[in-house]
């Protein structure tokens, strides 16, 4: 949830105290470098972090945060097939061109679908 890189999270008594970007030391693998005109350029040995990533502590302890997953009660997703799906190529061949939904044994019938 940091949008930028790994972080150190300092915890004391099971509470987040501070969130900071990781600073790499000499024991970590070396980063990329570019050599141009006799100079070598390397990125800082520190990860970048978006401002809202640094503020994650306040979101964890916010009184307005969701404590449990929510189920929407005002939403009824539904979707119905506007056609049949034949169960074999033989049924496709035996269908009449001008008569819809005339499959003898369709895999999915007209109107098959989802509703809660």
> In which band, very low, low, confident or very high, does the pLDDT at 46 lie, cut at 50, 70 and 90?
confident
52 has pLDDT over 80: no
Q: What is the mean pLDDT of residues 17-30?
A: 83
Q: What is the mean pLDDT of residues 39-66?
A: 82
pLDDT at residue number 35:
94
Domains of the chain from N-terminus onward: 7-60 (2.20.25.340), 71-116 (no CATH)
Whether the model clears a pTM of 0.85, i.e. scores above it, the answer is no
61 has pLDDT over 80: yes
String of DSSP letters for 63-92: TTS-SS----SS----EE-SS-B-SSHHHH
């Amino acid at each position: 949830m940091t949008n930028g890189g790994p972080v150190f999270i300092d915890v004391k008594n099971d509470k987040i105290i501070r969130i900071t970007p990781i600073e790499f030391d000499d024991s970590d693998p070396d980063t990329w470098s570019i050599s141009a005109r006799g100079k070598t350029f390397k990125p800082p040995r520190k990860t970048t972090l978006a401002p809202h990533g640094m503020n994650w502590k306040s979101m964890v302890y916010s009184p307005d945060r969701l404590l449990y997953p929510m189920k929407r009660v005002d939403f009824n997703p539904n979707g119905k097939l506007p056609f049949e799906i034949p169960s074999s190529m033989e049924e496709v061949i035996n269908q009449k061109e001008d008569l819809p939904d005339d499959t003898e044994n369709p895999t999915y019938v007209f109107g098959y679908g989802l509703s809660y």
